[in-house]
Structure 1
Amino acid sequence: MKRIVTLMLVDRSGEVLGEASPFEAELPWWQEVSGFGPGVQVLRLLRAERPAPPGGRVTYLAEVTGSFPGQINPVSPYGESLVKPHPQRAPYAEVGGPTASIDWATSVVPGVTAHQQRTWNLSAIWRLNDPTGRPVAWLKQVPNFFAHEPYALRMVGAAFPGLVPSLIADGDNGRMLLAHAPGEDRYGAGAEVCARIAAAFHPVQAHFAADPGPLAGIPDARLKVEPYAEVAEPFSASIPGLEALIEDLPSRFAAIAECGLPDTLVHGDLHPGNVRTDDAGRLTIMDWGDCTFGHPALDILRLTDGATGEGSPLAARDQLLADWATRWKQTVPGSDPLRAVSLMRPVAPLRAALLYATFLENIEPTEHPYHAADVPDRLSAAVVAA
């Protein structure tokens, strides 16, 4: 699916310079901005012709920070509307924001050049290369609702060295510097990689189940009816079965508790694309912004979403679940992990709907298309799963 990009350009003072000529981006995903050319830093999404990603015609606001290589076409005056402050705008989406973040990063790791990779309402990411072009570190910046990510990296890294990216430094406004993790992201990897991830992550969850004290520093997602009822209420009349699902949550949560699995560290988005592996067998789990203190079944349900292998994908998924259950039975004798997973199936999409609603409450309206369709979609999926 094609993504046709237009950049609305402003200078360092925020004055509108005009539009760059449209071009086709290499990837369809709206947040991917690598390869947009030197001399610009993409700030944020302005508009899109489609109601949701990926693809389509997309316009971004971008700051000219160097010598812009393309033609700049005049446009009708926008006045101050493009750079007018917004209380929910991330610091890295402001004019001058990327430059300030890069200056901070290069003061910590001198002699590197920054190459913008991604920017959207959940993060901005730059690759930092040494003079030979080799990546040595990554600059990541997150909004306030993900401000706990550096804490989570320190927490997990202290107990399980090498399993998470090494945190070089963290700073103001959600900035963090991460050491480069060798290997490649495993988007689309099948059951074998998922099995490795599950096996590597179980000791982490077992550790923090036994010692949950440090989890006070991350969001609390332990099961309570009220947050789910609130996110579902606006859609109860339009999604058949949703009201009944919410009304049943107290008994469902009681049954989940009877299964005996402890609350622990939940990664929140544990899929192969958030894991890097290398030829030496090293496995690095990335992107901890969604982590919470909650039920461990949420992660195995996320991990098994796309599990495939030789034969039936369902067979691959069931084997992953069986292995996961065996580990938890050894960790918590007398527990019933498979029943817990069955009961948690509709809770996982409910949790996703709640998370997307949180995003929408905390981002500026021009970036709502990233997530606006996700809340009703996940609520509908919860009804189906129930």
Structure 2
Amino acid sequence: MRDEASVDRGAYPDVVTPWDDPDWRRDALAWAERGLAVRGWTGVRRVAVRVRPWSVLVRMSVVGGPDVWFKANPPGSAFEAGLTEALARWVPGHVLEPLAVDTERGWSLLPDGGTLFRDAPGAGVGAWEQALQQYATVQRALCSRVEEIDRLGVPDARTTVLPEVFDRVVEENAALDADTRAALRALRPRVVGWCEELAALGIPDSLDHADLHDGQLFAPEPGRFTFFDWGDAAVSHPFCSLFVPLNSAVERYGQQALPRLRDAYLDAWTGMGVTPAELRRAAVLARHLGAIGRACSWARLFPTALRGLTDVAGAGGAQSLRELLSDPARNEAPGAGR
């Protein structure tokens, strides 16, 4: 494989990842090259390398073929390779179909998905409505696959166990000051109550992407989207997925965008014997509890990177946990009572 690529380390120039190990690098690239050769693609050339504490990405071009991506996950999110492969079978057309996976090592070989949503023309509130509708349809289809998703090693953050997940991240996060940790511990009865209320509303647990922002989906054509990057995922209440996109929407479009985006997402969950008011209440609670999933994902780094980023990872998780101390009512979109 010809190497013509520089290494993009972003804001983490000194962090050590497996890419820095020549033996690992040789094995990984040889595996990718074999996967391409099976498809008759040769003349592989590295175009770009992107190294982060949570992944290694290598973009490669091949003679007579499209660009492809090699991705390596750390142990905490190694499940992504198998999950991506399974999702391509379960919800084809909605996710990237991998060219090859190594589930033991957390390696994936992926096609180029086209234009990122954030770079697509007209990627405004209306397009986000369509994306959230499609994503919710995918989640509803996956409700019956929860046990299979569990067996792939995807973390369990179901409504019934979420209080225990909350306990763990609160106690393990070294970046929390004493007052914040005490406030979170005191919040536990409310967390339990929110989870019990969610469970009583009857929406089943599903797959939560847990980081669904505008750089985590492709827009290959108007009105159609391809979801990818499942390394932060968990089995949880599906509405927990609203934490990232709705919080981002407030920053970008203002609070007035929330009714449209929330209702577009909830539309896929009608017809389950749950009233519109109950769906909106579930969205408020689950969006609030989605902060727990974000706090968990900060620990899914390469072990060598984690040793050098303990403060950064802890601070990221702590920031998410502090979101729980606010009143969930602030997540109530304008017009929620209609």
Shorter chain as normaliser: what TM range? 0.7 to 0.9
CA distance in 1, matches of 2:5, 2:59: 15
CA distance in 2, matches of 1:360, 1:142: 8
Give 1:259's aligned amino acid: L
Residue equivalent to 1:305: 247
The one of 219, 222, 227 aligned to 2:158 = 222
CA distance in 2, matches of 1:295, 1:362: 32
1:205 correspondence with 2:132: no
Listed as ranges, the matches of 1:353-372 within 5 Å are: 353-357=295-299, 359=301, 363-368=305-310, 370-372=312-314
Q: Is the 8 A contact 1:345 1:385 kept in 2?
A: no
Give 1:299's aligned amino acid: S
Count of matched residue pairs: 309
Deviations 1:151-190 (A, max 9, x none): 2112221122221112111135222111122223426943
Residue equivalent to 1:104: 31
Deviation beyond 6 Å, 4+ runs, structure 1: none
Higher strand share: 1
Listed as ranges, the matches of 1:66-105 within 5 Å are: 91-105=18-32
CA distance in 2, matches of 1:102, 1:219: 28
* Higher-Rg member (1/2): 1
The one of 82, 85, 88 aligned to 1:151 = 82
Which of structures 1 and 2 has the larger relative contact order (alpha carbons within 8 angstroms, sep 6+)? 2
Deviations 1:140-160 (A, max 9, x none): 111111111122112221122
Give the superposition deviation at 1:228. Answer: 0.9
Listed as ranges, the matches of 1:174-253 within 5 Å are: 174-186=106-118, 189-216=123-150, 217=152, 218-223=154-159, 224=161, 225-233=163-171, 235=176, 237-239=178-180, 241-253=183-195
The one of 273, 294, 317 aligned to 1:375 = 317
1:125 correspondence with 2:52: no
**Which sits farther off after the overlay, 273-282 or 373-382?**
273-282
Listed as ranges, the matches of 1:277-316 within 5 Å are: 277-279=219-221, 281-307=223-249, 313-316=254-257
Q: Is the 8 A contact 1:347 1:382 kept in 2?
A: yes
Give 2:75's aligned amino acid: N
The one of 259, 266, 272 aligned to 2:201 = 259
**Closer/same/farther in 2, CA of residues 122 and 260 from structure 1, 3 Å limit:** same
Give 1:60's aligned amino acid: D
Residue equivalent to 1:173: 105
How well do the aligned residues superpose, as a CA RMSD in angstroms?
A: 3.0
Deviations 1:361-383 (A, max 9, x none): 78441233542321221122221
The one of 2, 11, 14 aligned to 1:60 = 14
Give 1:379's aligned amino acid: L
The residue matched to 2:199 in structure 1 has which SS?
helix
Deviations 1:50-90 (A, max 9, x none): xxx85xxx6437xxxxxxxxxxxxxxxxxxxxxxxxxxx75
Deviations 1:274-329 (A, max 9, x none): 0111346542111011222110111123222222699x622211211122223212
**Closer/same/farther in 2, CA of residues 39 and 249 from structure 1, 3 Å limit:** closer
Give the superposition deviation at 1:360. Answer: 8.6
CA distance in 1, matches of 2:222, 2:302: 41
Give the superposition deviation at 1:198. Answer: 1.0
The residue matched to 2:110 in structure 1 has which SS?
strand
Uncovered stretches (5+) of structure 1, i.e. residues with no partner: 1-36, 46-52, 62-88
Give the superposition deviation at 1:205. Answer: 1.3
Uncovered stretches (5+) of structure 2, i.e. residues with no partner: 37-41, 329-338
Give 2:142's aligned amino acid: F
Give the superposition deviation at 1:356. Answer: 1.8
Residue equivalent to 1:321: 262
State the TM-score, normalizing by the size of structure 2: 0.80
Residue equivalent to 2:335: none
